[in-house]
Structure 1
Amino acid sequence: MTKTYEVRTYGCQMNVHDSERISGLLETAGYTAAEKAGGATPDLVVFNTCAVRENADNKLYGNLGHVAQLKAEKPGMQIAVGGCLAQKDRATITQRAPWVDVVFGTHNVGSLPVLLERARVQEEAQVEVLEALETFPSSLPTKRDSVFAAWVSISVGCNNTCTFCIVPSLRGKEKDRRPGDVLAEVEALVADGVVEVTLLGQNVNSYGVEFGDRQAFGKLLRACGQIEGLERVRFTSPHPKDFTDDVIAAMAETPNVMPQLHMPLQSGSDDVLKRMRRSYRREKYLGIIDRVRAAMPDAAITTDIIVGFPGETDEDFEQTLEVVRQARFSSAFTFQYSPRPGTPAADLDDQIAPEVVKERYLRLAAEVDAIAWAENQAIVGRRVELLVADTSGKKDRATERLTGRARDNRLVHFVPADSDARPGDVVEVEITQAAPHHLVSDLPPLLVRRTSAGDAWEALSGRTEVRPGSAVGLGMPSLGVPAPLPPAPACAI
């Protein structure tokens, strides 16, 4: 009988894309995806882990404990653990969870099928965690979660040394793909029905440093603009220290590059940024935003902010609020700082009391939501273009709405009326309501354009209704290309 598998994903969009590769590898090896609801226990469960999120290890071992019970009831079932936590805790996972069959790291995803077979034959756990990347992961088979929206890795790893971040030690130094390889993948995806790609890297702005071209990222954006049939290009995430005017020009002058920017701030205080080892200051950050908006007045800018970093004073926090008010972000991922073992910040003096961190976090979240709501209210009455998503919002079925993403990446719930719009199609709607995190159109679409992406979705699904959402468990709000590909912020860059 064909073996079934399930992949459970935690963390950032890097892990989501790695899980697509894990699924592709397993299906190439003869596995089939298990039914997501109400089906039998799968023969294999793979945990693709994160080491950045708070209590990541506790969550993993809690889930492993639950699956251990399932394994005891199903002889021959296997459990594998990969991702950043596997890279970090390679020596302890099988000690704490001896029922795990395979542990593999971020650099050797392609080894999983072989390790599973070896564990089965030898009847003992296999732990293989490489220290450096041997083959760029984009050469591996991939099973995409979406027919018409896709990730495309342009680099892996990170050369920065932020004191709060453990990612460089888990993902390694930055390795860039050659532009020709990236563009070849994009062209192949478009030929397969994809109309939107998100270029992915820990720091996309430093792309090209490895092969000696500091303007390579802007050139790559312009080259994507020459690909016929590619309607939308996004990227995540840039680092402010490497953001250059040629990238802004490329965004503004390339029609299929979307007017959207996710650029982590982390703090609005120069003193805190210095302790974080973030090599930019607030004026540089705000200057980038000013130049982006000068070139693209309707651009939506989102960010990441950490509250309560060691040594953060009331004045430091007020400076962060000031930057938020000046930047007027359309959305922000806000995090309460908590020490991560293995990072320099965990050993810094002046750790902030949890109750102070929480109070600042709530004030920041309220400020971000108020600004986002005001920015969204300014869009009411406008006509916006949406790419129809292949997932629904929580209330969409009850309200008979569909969901789409605007060009600036805002989430919009709209009434399809008699339009027969399909996931992957493009519609234009008039916005009638605004909320802090989404927009609503309760009027019939003004225009519906059926696309090859909609044809591809219909051919693959064999049905016309919107299918349920992906089971990728990010544990955070959606942001980015149409779900189920929500680009949460890249791992703490």
Structure 2
Amino acid sequence: MKVYLESFGCSASQASGEIMKAAVERLGHELLCSGEAEKAEVYICNSCTVKYTTEQKILYKIRSMGEKGLEVVVSGCMPEVQLDDILHANPEAHILGVNAVSRLGDLLASIEQRKKEGLLAGRLEIRTSEPLGFLNVPRERSNPNIHICQISQGCNFACSYCIVRHARGKLQSFPPEAIVEDIRSAVAEGCREIWLTSQDDSQYGMDTGFKLPELLRLISEIPGDFKVRVGMMNPFSVLPILDDLVDAFDSDKIFKLLHLPIQSASHSVLKRMNRLHKMDAVDTIITKFRSRFDDLSLFTDIIVGFCDETDEDFEETVEWVKKYRPEKVNISRYSPRPHTKAFTFRNLDSRIPVQRSHDLHKVCEQIKLGSKQQMIGWKGRVFVSKYTELGDVLTRTDSYRPVVISGSNLKPGEYASVEITAAKPGYFLGKLLEE
């Protein structure tokens, strides 16, 4: 069968998509390239339910592909929490549960058999209670140099706006030996950049006692030339492991990148969000990381326009951004999600989140522009991550800043000394220095 697979959402969802693509090809089906959906017999939608806009896009895809006569399979988070919406859009949609990535072959085999026998349509559904097939399985990677390793499934906290916890359940940390073997195999296959992903990386091991710092130390001992990008970590789950975590980041194989979502700098908003941290704890975390790593990159996530957020609340967040100057801010307008506590809260006028998002973007761009200008003339060591579409190489500083080098013979996994010569919107330009 001709199969078209489309993934939405986070890096964990992207990793599941890579696993399912490999399964499609391994089973002898034809995996169609991007833009070839019209040729497909089966459309697989690896869904995300974090934002209303994404949800609506997915429901449109599910409906329109079904109307064109395609067999539609919906995987990912949406089937766990919005099955009725999916079936309203397409009553014949097949369902692959968020934990059942490894069962895609069974689902496709059933679809193919029924097509061969000319049986009447009827939807199929496969779910598993335990997460299966996320590690040590073949991948069809979006980039052959980057391996996305999911280290756990689920979350033990309950932010009032978050639907993902309802979709993925309570925390289940994957065995450290399986994670190490998964990364070891990826490095042997040529991957030079490893992304550790989950709903919250710093929760890893809260259910088993084998915590993230210990896991990072094991990963750092794997032979080979590779670097590790640790994914998003919530302040309230970082704090209990802070000292050990900073020590673990000292490894040469760990990018000095701290992705610490605050969502808001207002304590009253944080309370309504059920975010279990105070801003002095955030300050403690950032101060300890910056004290150890001078060139640390700080990423954060912020939700604007949350229920009852006042102008004063928003201004506190803006002032926090101006003070701590993160290199990247992922800004989201609050989007009410079903099954969450905040779904019952009073929402702001829809124009307010739009304006606040615009205002915060403006502040972030000014900060980013100033930071980029300060980097011009920087000299230091970079790690070669991957080739660009134009044949240049994308390198990264120890703090994950992207530097593109043209006209070199560098290969992924190598190190080089460079000077940053210019700044572009999403990256820097650099030139090689003689060793």
TM-score, with length taken from structure 1: 0.81
Report the residue type matching 1:106 in the other structure: V
Aligned to 1:371: 367
Aligned to 1:348: 345
Deviation at 1:383, TM superposition (A): 2.2
Aligned to 1:380: 376
Deviation at 1:373, TM superposition (A): 1.7
Contact 1:41 1:70 in 2 (8 A): no
| Residues 368-397 of structure 1, C-alpha deviations (whole Å, 9 max, x = no match) | 1111221222111012414243443xxxx5
Aligned to 2:12: 14
- RMSD of aligned residue pairs (Cα, Å): 2.3
- Distance in 2, Cα, partners of 1:390 & 1:87: 37
Deviation at 1:32, TM superposition (A): 3.1
Q: 2:16 aligns to what SS in structure 1?
A: helix
- Distance in 2, Cα, partners of 1:20 & 1:35: 13
Deviation at 1:425, TM superposition (A): 5.1
Aligned to 1:458: none
| Residues 345-388 of structure 1, C-alpha deviations (whole Å, 9 max, x = no match) | 12113x21122222211111111111122122211101241424
- Distance in 1, Cα, partners of 2:37 & 2:161: 41
| Residues 386-410 of structure 1, C-alpha deviations (whole Å, 9 max, x = no match) | 4243443xxxx5xx85544333222
Give 1:41-440 correspondences, 5 Å limit: 41-68=39-66, 70-71=68-69, 77-98=70-91, 100=93, 102-120=94-112, 121=114, 122-128=119-125, 130=127, 132-133=129-130, 135=132, 137-138=134-135, 140-213=137-210, 216-243=211-238, 244-252=242-250, 254-349=251-346, 351-384=347-380, 385-392=382-389, 397=390, 402-414=393-405, 416-417=406-407, 419-422=408-411, 426-435=415-424, 437-440=426-429
Unpaired segments ≥5 residues, structure 2: none
Contact 1:331 1:437 in 2 (8 A): no
Q: 1:8 to 1:426 in 2, by over 3 A?
A: farther
Q: 1:37 to 1:404 in 2, by over 3 A?
A: farther
Contact 1:6 1:45 in 2 (8 A): yes
Report the residue type matching 1:358 in the other structure: V
- Distance in 1, Cα, partners of 2:36 & 2:85: 33
| Residues 121-150 of structure 1, C-alpha deviations (whole Å, 9 max, x = no match) | 254333425373253532544322222220
Q: 1:138 aligns to what SS in structure 2?
A: coil
Unpaired segments ≥5 residues, structure 1: 72-76, 449-493
Q: 1:193 aligns to what SS in structure 2?
A: coil
Q: 1:212 aligns to what SS in structure 2?
A: coil
Q: 1:278 aligns to what SS in structure 2?
A: coil
Contact 1:94 1:125 in 2 (8 A): no
- Distance in 1, Cα, partners of 2:305 & 2:374: 32
Contact 2:44 2:74 in 1 (8 A): yes
Report the residue type matching 2:343 in the other structure: A
Q: Which has the higher contact order (CA 8 A, sep 6+)?
A: 1
Aligned to 2:30: 32
Report the residue type matching 1:116 in the other structure: L
